[in-house]
Amino acid sequence: MSNQLEEVKKILVWFQEQLKKKERIWKQSAPDAWSCEEAYCWIYADSNYAFSQCDRSTPIIEAAKQLARPYYDKWLDLERDCQSIHGYIIPPPASEDTLQSYLEQLSVEIRAEGRCKTIRWKSLRSFTFLLHEKLPKGQLGFIEVIFPERMEIFDGKVIRIVDKTVYPVDIIIACKILQKLAHMALEGRANAQQSAATTLGLAWMCLCSSRKRLPTELILIHGATASSVRLPVPDTKNEEEPKGSLALPTLCGPFAIPISKELANYLVALSLLSPPSMGTIIGSPLGSLHRTFQRAVDQVPEAAQLGKITFLTFMSHPHEAFGHRYTPKMA
């Protein structure tokens, strides 16, 4: 077993010890509320969590400010079949329209009409596909918010098509899965502890992404660099415990999210397990981490009736409708 894995485990043990201390205090003053508080402590990887408010600011995307007309003209030059009936395709943007204002205008028109005719819908899909091709991946977030890559019209509204695995579970189930991963990292087979510790780190990073509800992808989170983590800096003028930060990779570019000192220390220690040539927080391939995550889920009996739970599930913030999952008919 590597010395660095021992460092990762020490941070995890320290976190659990802090929760035990907090549990004793809560069970004396508010025993009925402890299960929810404990769940949020695990979800936020923060032993001092106390109904903290999430930062609701959003990133600025430079691509959204570009003029739409040049992109529209490039699209027309492609001479695609969906452009053949000019009076029925998406109208050209005004000369001053930015990409964001133009797409927002199209969205408003669809809502006002309550539908989108077939030819216009096909041309819209074709145009947004061109934008996905021409713009950098880290600048696509504003498009995903207005017209997701996977979308359909329902009751006059553009809705995102998501897999069943994306729908969130409740905070207690999420907590138990995280606790199982921690147990596997500390008490599991020696040759499986590192995988469990790494899987736990990725699960926590996915939960970080769920707080902001910004468009991102699991592959982006998995590839987050070690330099994206900032350790907390003590401030003698501020009585509050200092927070670290994680510059989460998104389709809007990297966006810094406040994280607890425990999570910041854990992710930094985890990054030292990655091969130096990778320079990432997570050094294991996604396939093996998926299998480890599934083993943890399988050890939570209450999860069996909720459908398939994956890392994608943790990219949607857990809710408090205990025992339920907001999802279409489960497979």
For residue 327, is pLDDT > 60? Answer: no
Say yes or no: 183 and 309 in one domain.
Answer: yes
Query: pLDDT value at position 330?
Result: 38
Q: Average pLDDT of 299-326?
A: 88
Query: pLDDT value at position 326?
Result: 60
Query: pLDDT value at position 56?
Result: 44
Say yes or no: 179 and 145 in one domain.
Answer: no
Say yes or no: 194 and 303 in one domain.
Answer: yes
For 325, left (φ over 0), alpha (ψ -120 to 50), or beta?
beta
What average pLDDT does the chain have?
A: 85
Compute the C-alpha angle 67/68/70, nearest 5°: 85
Residue 288: pLDDT band with limits 50, 70, 90: very high
Say yes or no: 233 and 278 in one domain.
Answer: yes
Q: What is the pLDDT of residues 3-23, one digit of tens each?
A: 889 999 999 999 999 999 999
Say yes or no: 185 and 308 in one domain.
Answer: yes
Say yes or no: 302 and 203 in one domain.
Answer: yes
**324 lies in some domain:** no
**57 lies in some domain:** no
**143 lies in some domain:** yes
Query: pLDDT value at position 135?
Result: 87
Query: pLDDT value at position 240?
Result: 60
Domain boundary, last residue among 128, 161, 194: 161
79 C-beta neighbours (distance < 10 Å), count: 8
Residue 149: pLDDT band with limits 50, 70, 90: confident
326 C-beta neighbours (distance < 10 Å), count: 11
For residue 262, is pLDDT > 70? Answer: yes
164 within 8 A of 313, measured Cβ to Cβ: no
Query: pLDDT value at position 328?
Result: 44
Residue 51: pLDDT band with limits 50, 70, 90: very low
Domain, as residue range, for 147: 62-161
For residue 55, is pLDDT > 50? Answer: no
**320 lies in some domain:** no
Q: What torsion, rounded to 10 degrees, do the Cα atoms 128, 251, 208, 239 define?
A: -130
Residue with tokens 């996915």: 206
Does 156 or 221 have the greater pLDDT score? 221
Say yes or no: 244 and 267 in one domain.
Answer: yes
**322 lies in some domain:** no
**142 lies in some domain:** yes
Q: How many CA atoms lie within 13 A of 134 on its CB side?
A: 17
How far apart, in whole angstroms, are the C-alpha atoms of residue 257 and residue 202?
A: 15
Residue 200 neighbours by CB under 8 Å, 6+ apart: 12, 178, 181, 182, 185
44 within 8 A of 302, measured Cβ to Cβ: no
Q: Average pLDDT of 135-159?
A: 74
* Number of domains within the chain: 2
**321 lies in some domain:** no
Query: pLDDT value at position 2?
Result: 75
Least confident of 107-116, 200-209, 217-226, 268-277: 107-116
Domain boundary, last residue among 161, 189, 214: 161
Say yes or no: 129 and 223 in one domain.
Answer: no
Least confident of 4-8, 48-52, 222-226, 277-281: 48-52
Q: What is the pLDDT of residues 174-209, one digit of tens each?
A: 999 999 999 999 999 988 999 999 999 999 999 999
Alpha-carbon torsion (305, 35, 263, 253), positive or negative: positive
Q: Average pLDDT of 76-90?
A: 81
Say yes or no: 48 and 171 in one domain.
Answer: yes
Say yes or no: 198 and 299 in one domain.
Answer: yes
Say yes or no: 103 and 28 in one domain.
Answer: no
Beta bridge partners of 158: 153
Say yes or no: 213 and 262 in one domain.
Answer: yes
**263 lies in some domain:** yes
Query: pLDDT value at position 331?
Result: 35
How far apart, in whole angstroms, are the C-alpha atoms of residue 66 and residue 157?
A: 26
Query: pLDDT value at position 329?
Result: 41
Domain boundary, last residue among 143, 161, 179: 161
Closest CA to 135 of 204, 207, 201, 68: 68
